[in-house]
Amino acid sequence: MTNIQLTQDQKELIERMGVFYEQHGIQPMEGRIMSLLIVCDEPELTFDQIRELLGISKSTTSSALNMLMLTKHVIYRTKPGDRKRYFASNIVQWQQSFTENFQKFFEVIKIMKEALAQRTSETPEFNRQMAEFIEFIEYLSVEFPRLYQEWLQRNNEKKQ
Amino acid sequence: MTNIQLTQDQKELIERMGVFYEQHGIQPMEGRIMSLLIVCDEPELTFDQIRELLGISKSTTSSALNMLMLTKHVIYRTKPGDRKRYFASNIVQWQQSFTENFQKFFEVIKIMKEALAQRTSETPEFNRQMAEFIEFIEYLSVEFPRLYQEWLQRNNEKKQ
DNA sequence: CTTTTGGTTCGGTATTTTCAGAACTAAAAG
DNA sequence: CTTTTAGTTCTGAAAATACCGAACCAAAAG
């Protein structure tokens, strides 16, 4: 039995954030767990605290947490002499996983190139536009990581 | 009855691209239609050609095409003295819709700021990391459109 | 060895999503 | 006015998904 309680405001915010995540392709319960870990005053929660605060079953908690760890949205740490895991939102590493996601997205060019290669040469305008799009994505896949590096540097300077 | 035929290779490519789209949150059939419009030698297809080439019903074709037009993934034009609509992939505008999607994503900061504002001040490290993440997204939402503008300009210069 | 803790795995149900088919419609053609 | 064309809308079935509860398991505590 956890002694943590959520205020009405927190509960509402969790639902609203959950909807946002859902609209971006994340499962409802996974979205709620992520939101909980950001909204809740405690920066870390155990399996059972999550389960009780959201009022869900162990199986749902288990599979959602495992998926969230697979997708790097959630991390956990352990404490000496304590068998429980303490789960936390991975905002710390979000910048990185954010850029990793971009990289993954840029894979679209592979299939696009394949499609372009097998196209008839009788539609030059269409093919030119496809080539241009491929170039754009390639441009981004170079420029975007640079943007990230610049931000890192700028942020480091600020700290000193 | 359409006289267009797809090769085995084209069919396979359509399925593979379809899966890719599906993994990025697009409905299976919508993904297949988009792929078809890119893979097929004809840069434009009619309602009925799409329906026949994919072997799907009119209702499915109708709702999928309407959704794809709503999301700006597909456009159509008409021809004088012809009641049919000729559908095409909107790769021309993809660069733009791509960047528009980014803008929409950046809305995450609104909810994040709200969540940060209501947090306890007793977790300074956690709050600092959240603030840093928000700053990062704000940085991107400024820098990314600039990147896009630069590409547009570079591309225009190349054409002249 | 037995019990408790901190989960995982399995099987089933309820909900949601995806699609087909039939009935419908508005505009053009005959 | 009737028929054809080019779709749209509605209903329902099938498939996929999300979730629960119960059984299970491995490590630690008693």
Q: What's residue A37's pLDDT? A: 97
Q: What's residue B1's pLDDT? A: 57
Higher pLDDT, residue B104 or B17: B17
Q: What angle do CA A108, A69, A98 make, to 5 degrees?
A: 40
**pLDDT value at A1 more than 60:** no
Among candidates A17, A43, A144 on the partner chain, residue whose Cβ is nearest the Cβ of B126: A43
Per-residue pLDDT tens over the stretch B8-56: 999 999 999 999 999 888 999 999 999 999 999 999 999 999 999 999 9
Split at pLDDT 50, 70, 90, the class of A151 is: very high
**pLDDT value at A117 more than 70:** yes
Decide: CB of B81 under 7 A of nucleic strand C.
yes
**pLDDT value at B158 more than 90:** no
Q: What's residue B93's pLDDT? A: 75
Q: What's residue A2's pLDDT? A: 62
Per-residue pLDDT tens over the stretch A7-48: 999 999 999 999 999 988 899 999 999 999 999 999 999 999
Q: What are phi and psi of A26, to 5 degrees?
A: -100, 145
Q: b or e along A69-108 (b: 16 or more beta carbons within 10 Å of the residue's beta carbon)?
A: eeeebbbbeeeeeeeebbbbbbbbebbeeebeeeeeeeeb
Q: What's residue B80's pLDDT? A: 93
Average pLDDT over residues A45-56: 97
Split at pLDDT 50, 70, 90, the class of B99 is: confident
Split at pLDDT 50, 70, 90, the class of B104 is: confident
A105: nearest Cα among A136, A151, A147 = A136
Residue nearest to nucleotide D20 (CA to C1'): A57
**Helix-, strand-, coil-residue percentages of chain B, each rounded to 5:** 70, 10, 20
Higher pLDDT, residue A30 or A144: A30
User: E strands of A57-115, at which residues?
Assistant: 74-79, 82-89
Specify the pTM: 0.89
How many Å does it take to go from CA B101 to C1' D14? 33
Decide: CB of B79 under 7 A of nucleic strand D.
no
In angstroms, the CA B16 to CA A92 distance is 35
Token pair listed for B33: 């239609």
Split at pLDDT 50, 70, 90, the class of B2 is: low
Q: What's residue B3's pLDDT? A: 79
**pLDDT value at A58 more than 90:** yes
Decide: CB of A22 under 7 A of nucleic strand C.
no
Q: What's residue B125's pLDDT? A: 93
Residues of A in contact with B90 (CB under 8 A): none
